[in-house]
A and B are shown apart, each in its own frame.
Chain A
């Protein structure tokens, strides 16, 4: 539509020149890249939309909404409010587990394992999709993540987090305790720190070497996205009018002020995803704006301008760091390629 493009602000330049985008018509719950390079978008209407090159396809994955998405060794794994854990690979849907009336709210995966959180339990499956163990928690699991080596699983819940060894014969987690409701979790790539988001607009952290507690507060809203930089030096977070980055070096984050990037007063940061190699972070905002921020130089590259697309609800990098998938609450989705041209 050449007549329209003249009116689009320059903030959309990258979206116009380097992206394949689509209006998917339902809340984008999560996005991820599969090993074959295709991007998957999990939607509130129960479908998984897959963007491969410029072609977009739709696969019916769940009866209700898709609640969680991860990429595993073969393709995509999704959890839904129909109680199912599904694998979507090669255009086929396979049910890996059916937890009945329990929502599958959390899914995480590595090349060798899949973890699915339903209620207070986490099922751990091997790459073939066979359940090898079930981990019990004191309350519902609100966040689920593997560490960078795929050896440990972290799960957040009321009054803290549990850290499990995937290969352990006897299942006793390391309990990271802090009173309150913890609603999300991240483990630094170097495996040194665990951080949770909390109900009361703050983060809590544990340094694993000595159990030192870390408290990061001052957010005007709840933090829903936590992402460590590849070198573990920075923790990028949503929940403020800017991208809030806590320094995990030089004695930080204790006693250090966070770095704030891409700040304004019109919108809240709603999602963050650190670049898989460089000290850079992609961030989405409540007005639909998406930016790529270089942490060292504090340079901001606009990816998508604000307005008309709803709040950003999902961002994911391809492991090669050249492509970024993004999605919004109104169903706008795009795959941006930073490499060509």
Chain B
């Protein structure tokens, strides 16, 4: 598999978030600030009304399991058809924005862009943007899995309605988000006032930018709860053995893929001067060489997991055992 983007691949931004968090306000802001660029917007039938755009596609989210029937290996059949239809008039727009329903799990949307050959050929998933409401997020996290999943999947989080909470509440909610996903970029906002340049063309799923934002070293001080979504990262300075890594990650995804929401890694294989980039959404993985280590860049292998039931010592031992 190869995931190197080409210029004719249309960028796709996925917008998730609960009803009332400010998704529609954000969407209208993106559309109104676009200075001549045009977007096709895919909305669902339960969405908030009032999207000001001339190319709006109304859809039912149709999630189905792939042939092995695994409950986490799901894709959006409606998106496959819509992307196919939009490509017949592709000269008319520059990007696609997909708004999901408030309660949607983002995995099927993301997996659609890994799994379907036609969608992969014509589009590239740019980033998952999640809008959360600073005031109501703690309650949402307490009463549903989906709120945590939407944060876990996000590349960009718009922490909206900050004007409705005290500074202390804002710190607490941001800390809660960081506990789930330490790798997303968080933008604080009220009335969804985030610059469009912080939302579009993020390249978050481009393999060569997969870990661009991961700090060189992270102190792992987060505590783990069995049912909470958490994020972990590990680094290994010695080169890895490609076969050992493939065997380990393959077995891990097969066994625990349902719990692993997102996995990303940049790997240094023995006797190879190129960086290998790896990413997965649940069990569905993708990887490619992405060019040489840059001058001054530390040659080491790093991997990030975001998910549930992460066993830190076991994952660390597994990763370290891939050393050549």
Query: Which residues on A are within 8 Å of B, measured CB to CB?
Result: 26-27, 29, 44-46, 64-65, 67, 81, 101-103, 105, 119-120, 139-140, 142, 158-159, 179-181, 199-200, 221-222
Contact = CB atoms under 8 A, between A and B. Distances in A.
Q: Which of B58, B66, B77, B90 has the most CB of A within 10 A?
A: B77
A239 B60 CA distance: 28
Contact of B57 (A27, A46, A103, A179): A103
A27 B78 contact: no
Nearest to A220: B117
Contacts of A222: 117-118
Interface residues of B, number: 26
Interface string B228-252: 0000000000000000000000000
A101 B56 contact: yes
A65 B91 CA distance: 11
Describe A's contact surface by its main secondary structure: loop
A181 B85 contact: no
B293 interface: no
Given A139-B62, A140-B62, A181-B64, A158 B85 contact: no
Contact of A180 (B58, B67, B81, B116): B67
Nearest to B115: A199
> Interface of chain B, helix or strand or loop or mixed?
mixed
Give the one of A29, A46, A119 with max B CB within 10 A. A119
Contacts of A29: 88
A140 B77 contact: yes
A45 B89 contact: yes
Residue from B85, B90, B92 having most chain A Cβ neighbours under 10 A: B85
Interface of B: 55-58, 60, 62, 64-67, 69, 75, 77-78, 80-82, 85, 87-90, 92, 116-118
A309 to B, nearest CB: 17
B114 to A, nearest CB: 14
A53 B2 CA distance: 46
Given A140-B60, A222-B117, A81 B85 contact: yes
Contacts of B117: 221-222
Contacts of A103: 57, 82, 85
A179 to B, nearest CB: 7
Contact of A44 (B77, B78, B88): B88
A140 B59 CA distance: 9
Contact of B89 (A65, A102, A142, A180): A65
A27 B67 contact: no
Nearest to A138: B62
B81 A65 contact: no
From B57, B65, B67, residue with most partner A Cβ within 10 Å: B67
Contacts of A158: 62, 64, 77
